[in-house]
Amino acid sequence: MAKLFARDVHTLHHNDIDLENDDFITTMRRNIEQGDTYVVKGGYDRQLLERIRDYLVRIGRNSYPNYHPIEEGCHNFHRMNKFDDRAYVKGCFHQFSFLPWNQDVFNLYDRFKEIYFLKNKLSQLPANKFISHEVQEGCTARMSFQFYPNGGGMLNAHADPKDRHQLTVPIMLMSQKGEDFQQGGGYVMASDGSEIILDDIAGWGDVIYFNAQVVHGVAPINPEDNLDWLAFKGRWMLLFAVNKLASTTDINNSIDYNK
């Protein structure tokens, strides 16, 4: 499969999003299909996101990380991935995952439902697809908070599958480059091989939509620092994924371009 590279970056305000306007959705979809990135600013309050981050840090410090395959009815869980060979894409991060059938104290699927509505509409799916309690077509929504620690948190350049379940994997930034970390960040790769660092053009509460197949990754976060998992200093984001279940075999896996 030919690599897809990032093209233009569009910046919108949260209030510009009109889920009922088919022309708006179609234009955005066509641009994303061609490799464009959309940064949607101003939708979510930093204070709320700081409270969520604080909650996750307490969980991360006080309970064991554990891996669970994604199957219907599985727990919410957090796990570490420190260059784990079993992952499809090599990385170094701590991940906190929430499935739609589990209740949580922040009511996350209701609070951030507009992001799944837009993701689904851009994927030409009904707005509420995959976010109910039931598995649909072998897939489920999974909201994952990803923490990339100072001292080398990273994710290799890769492409995620685009199939019946999604066109784009939105991410929300939950930290600020320049304050939480100084070097690295999430990027989409342009055709000349340059990295468009998303954390340089977006910050707290901004939501970024790009094509799952565009080459993207996380450039090492403050690589010269000592890595201290319990300090929880570094880059935070929230991923609005739709994943196949572990038992679903007819959707491709992500492709790591550095392995």
Closest distance of CB 29 from Fe ion, Å: 19
In the complex, what is the shortest distance from the CB of residue 36 to Fe ion, in angstroms, rounded to a whole number?
17
Q: Is 195 in the site for Fe ion (CB under 5 A)?
A: no
Residue 177 pairs in a beta bridge with 181
Nearest to Fe ion of 98, 187 (CB atom): 187
Least Å from the CB of residue 241 to Fe ion: 9
- Nearest distance from C-beta of residue 188 to Fe ion, angstroms: 10
Cβ closest to Fe ion, residue 36 vs residue 160: 160
Binding flag, residue 189, Fe ion (CB under 5 A): no
Is there binding between residue 199 and Fe ion (CB under 5 A)?
no
Minimum Å distance from CB 20 to Fe ion? 29
Residue nearest to Fe ion (CB): 160
Q: How far is CA 79 from the centre of its chain?
A: 16
Residue 119 touching Fe ion (CB under 5 A) = no
Q: Which of 198/225 has CB closer to Fe ion?
A: 198
Query: Within its chain, how far is the Cα of 67 from the centroid?
Result: 18
For residue 4, the minimal CB distance to Fe ion (Å) is: 13
Q: Select 74 or 255, whichever has its Cβ closest to Fe ion.
A: 255
Closer by beta carbon to Fe ion, 216 or else 225: 216
Q: Is 36 in the site for Fe ion (CB under 5 A)?
A: no
Spatial contact of 38 and 14, defined as CB atoms under 8 Å apart: no
For Fe ion, the closer CB: 114 or 256: 256
Q: Which is nearer to Fe ion, 206 or 225 (CB)?
A: 206
Q: How far apart are CA 38 and CA 181, in angstroms?
A: 23
Residues 240/112, Cβ–Cβ less than 8 Å: yes
Least Å distance, CB 21 to Fe ion, is 28
Size of the site for Fe ion (CB under 5 A): 1
Helix/strand/coil (H/E/C) assignment for every residue in 92-156:
EEEEEEECCCCCCCCCHHHHCHHHHHHHHHHCCCCCCCCCCCCCECCEEEEEEEEEEECCCEEEE
Residues 122-161 that bind Fe ion (CB under 5 A): 160
Interacting residues toward Fe ion by CB under 5 A: 160
